Chains A and B, each alone.
Chain A
């Protein structure tokens, strides 16, 4: 499989609150702090982590929607972080995004048909005469009746709106789709439908997907590989089944332990992860996870832990061996 997307040591910084126009030394928050990942064509990578760990920021930086402070984003071998206008234009023609809240992701004043048609027109995907037919085709592809093209988003249900969002993404004919928490705001039954739809579309169109979520059960169902993010860094990455069966990073282990299983006999741990994630404004020294880690050593406080690569797996921790 060829690598479609390669992210190397990506840094994203934002000016911190309180650093205005006239402040001499603006403070910066590092939302993404040296994240690396890769994604092959047709592959689905799950990106998991707590809220605020930088998942969405990473996704937006990959799509060149956030300024990048350092590192590389190689899409098809071209570094988009330093990309020319033509490179960015190509990126826009080959990637698309699906959002968390299906209602706010659609312009409330546009009709469904116009939302999709605008993409086709702006990106010149089909000749003008074929736009209505293509809109109808895309709507049926995501399981919506083409008559809905006349409606406005607010007269549709959340699940229907999310399907429209997916149809809009497919209108681009993308090779990479980034889905940012795209089922988190939906009812559980609708979540299942949308996940099945994504699975089906992935098979049919050989889509690569970066699937951002905090729901590990969704990752297990949908993804080939998983990357676990903590405070702006990828702490563990590998094939879904291997990572779920034998996590190597203590943070991954804690996350997997706290999956609410359907089996009531299995008790959830009392306190899998003590405390809150630290503020990105004051990152802990050394390993960012050490204040909450149950296996932390004195060394974790001082130095950044090494990254161990073992076959298709990779994790960043002082402990090289698998957790028992």
Chain B
């Protein structure tokens, strides 16, 4: 559907894109699945215990025994990065699913029913959007107390608005379509029309947004952990690791760098996945 307007030599496009975004999709999928596999197999793959402190091995530069080096407590960074994948992937997935479910339901019902309910929902969204995203999240987390649970709750309370707006705009268009009218004229229930006919056609953009949202959630999770509100030490989590390593940035660069790179690669995996899915599904609707 969307072909680049700039003339790219076809051999280039072939190499990077296979014409339909398949390479993007597979590459993104490979990165995300790769991290997923590492996270699942962490007890077997990680060379050391991520929490094991060793006073003799403090701030060791990367070597054969410790490829990513050790931190100021003598813990192996590679093992901590691998174990951290468990927490960070979980944050990305759970942090996307709740806002997605909440926002999709509210947006769809609000758009479908319309009228006053819709007006109230839209104003509510405006209120949430009036605050900077991170500020509102931090405020909610400060009330609930630090931890992963309050991160998920804050994410759901703040993140649903984007999904609600996306899905509502789609439902507003679709509910005027002939097939929605046909469904009404055939005596289908509102629930069947909304969830059986309109939603499958409306979800496409939200699913794509989900993938790129996973990146934001991941970065947000890392940010709140960095600020000390998310995952608590000594649990291995990439954001916390970066935060802990920042005071050693000049003397032991490896403490921040490797978890930072992990965040970047996983985020890149999600956004490639989003692009690939968008391009593949885009042709179909």
Q: Which residues of A contact B (CB under 8 A)?
A: 21, 60, 63, 65, 89, 92-93, 95-97, 99-101, 104-110, 118-119, 122-123, 165, 168, 172
Complex Cα spacing A110 to B119, Å: 32
Residues of chain B with a CB closer than 8 A to A110's CB = 197
Q: Which of B52-70 contact A (CB under 8 A)?
A: none
Task: Take A107-B201, A109-B200 as given contacts and tell me if A122 and B178 are in contact as well, using a CB distance cutoff of 8 Å.
Answer: no
- The answer to whether the Cβ of B185 comes within 8 Å of any Cβ in the partner chain is yes
- From B186, B197, B200, A119 is in contact (CB under 8 Å) with B186
B192 → chain A closest CB, angstroms: 7
Contact B184 A96 (CB under 8 A): no
Contact B185 A95 (CB under 8 A): yes
Residues of chain B with a CB closer than 8 A to A122's CB = 186-188, 192
Contact A104 B177 (CB under 8 A): yes
B195 → chain A closest CB, angstroms: 13
Complex Cα spacing A93 to B188, Å: 11
- The answer to whether the Cβ of B116 comes within 8 Å of any Cβ in the partner chain is yes
Complex Cα spacing A109 to B285, Å: 8
Complex Cα spacing A17 to B63, Å: 71
- The answer to whether the Cβ of B73 comes within 8 Å of any Cβ in the partner chain is no
Contact A105 B178 (CB under 8 A): yes
Contact B201 A172 (CB under 8 A): no
- The answer to whether the Cβ of B248 comes within 8 Å of any Cβ in the partner chain is no
- From A21, A95, A101, A109, B178 is in contact (CB under 8 Å) with A101
A94 → chain B closest CB, angstroms: 10
Residues of chain A with a CB closer than 8 A to B116's CB = 21
- From A21, A65, A95, B181 is in contact (CB under 8 Å) with A65
Contact A92 B119 (CB under 8 A): no
Give the residue name and chain of the B residue nearest to A89 (CB). B187
Give the residue name and chain of the B residue nearest to A101 (CB). B178
Complex Cα spacing A101 to B181, Å: 12
Q: Which residues of B contact A (CB under 8 A)?
A: 116, 119, 177-179, 181-188, 192, 197, 200-201, 285
Contact B186 A123 (CB under 8 A): yes
Give the residue name and chain of the A residue nearest to B197 (CB). A107
B191 → chain A closest CB, angstroms: 12
Complex Cα spacing A196 to B119, Å: 48
Complex Cα spacing A128 to B145, Å: 54
9 residue pairs A–B, Cβ–Cβ below 8 Å = A65-B185, A89-B187, A96-B186, A99-B182, A104-B179, A105-B179, A105-B182, A109-B200, A119-B186
Complex Cα spacing A302 to B95, Å: 68
Complex Cα spacing A168 to B188, Å: 13
With A97-B185, A104-B177 given, can you name 9 additional A-B contacts, CB distance below 8 Å?
A: A92-B187, A99-B182, A105-B182, A107-B179, A122-B188, A122-B192, A168-B182, A168-B186, A172-B186
Task: Take A93-B187, A122-B192 as given contacts and tell me if A108 and B181 are in contact as well, using a CB distance cutoff of 8 Å.
Answer: no
Give the residue name and chain of the A residue nearest to B187 (CB). A92
Residues of chain A with a CB closer than 8 A to B200's CB = 107, 109
Contact B201 A97 (CB under 8 A): no
Residues of chain A with a CB closer than 8 A to B179's CB = 104-108
Complex Cα spacing A97 to B179, Å: 11
Contact B178 A104 (CB under 8 A): yes
Contact A97 B187 (CB under 8 A): no
A237 → chain B closest CB, angstroms: 24
B164 → chain A closest CB, angstroms: 19
Residues of chain B with a CB closer than 8 A to A108's CB = 179, 201, 285
Task: Take A109-B200, A122-B186, A123-B186 as given contacts and tell me if A97 and B192 are in contact as well, using a CB distance cutoff of 8 Å.
Answer: no
Contact B182 A97 (CB under 8 A): yes
A111 → chain B closest CB, angstroms: 12
Complex Cα spacing A128 to B179, Å: 24
Complex Cα spacing A172 to B184, Å: 13
Complex Cα spacing A95 to B186, Å: 8
Residues of chain B with a CB closer than 8 A to A105's CB = 178-179, 182
- CB-CB nearest 10 A-B residue pairs: A92-B187, A105-B178, A104-B178, A99-B178, A97-B185, A109-B200, A107-B179, A107-B197, A119-B186, A21-B119
Contact B119 A63 (CB under 8 A): no
Contact B181 A92 (CB under 8 A): no
Contact A109 B187 (CB under 8 A): no
Complex Cα spacing A21 to B177, Å: 24
Residues of chain B with a CB closer than 8 A to A104's CB = 177-179
Complex Cα spacing A95 to B197, Å: 21
A223 → chain B closest CB, angstroms: 21
B171 → chain A closest CB, angstroms: 14
Give the residue name and chain of the B residue nearest to A109 (CB). B200
